[in-house]
Amino acid sequence: MPIDDEVLARIKLRRRLPPPSMRRQLREQAGVSQSDIAAVVGVSRECVSMWESGPRVPRGQNLERYLAFLERLARESV
């Protein structure tokens, strides 16, 4: 059974997502609050908190926006 391209794309995105502790570290090093990230991604602050502590993983467009923001923080903090 062939794997759908969309499924593969989601898997690739999830693999690029840093572990929860690194997500928090990137945010804190940049001086960005959970509320700031929540506003950019379009979710609640509590949702970002759960992504950083590990019980939840972003999905769909939230994953795309969150990952893009984290990658930008990583590039700009160098």
Scan for tokens 């989601």, then name that residue: 10
CA–CA separation, 44 and 41 (whole Å): 9
45-73 mean pLDDT = 94
Tally of domains in the chain: 1
pTM for this entry: 0.86
What contacts 29, CB < 8 A, 6 or more positions away? 73, 77
Residue-wise pLDDT tens digits, 8-45: 888 888 999 999 999 999 999 999 999 999 999 999 99
Domain range for 59 is: 5-76
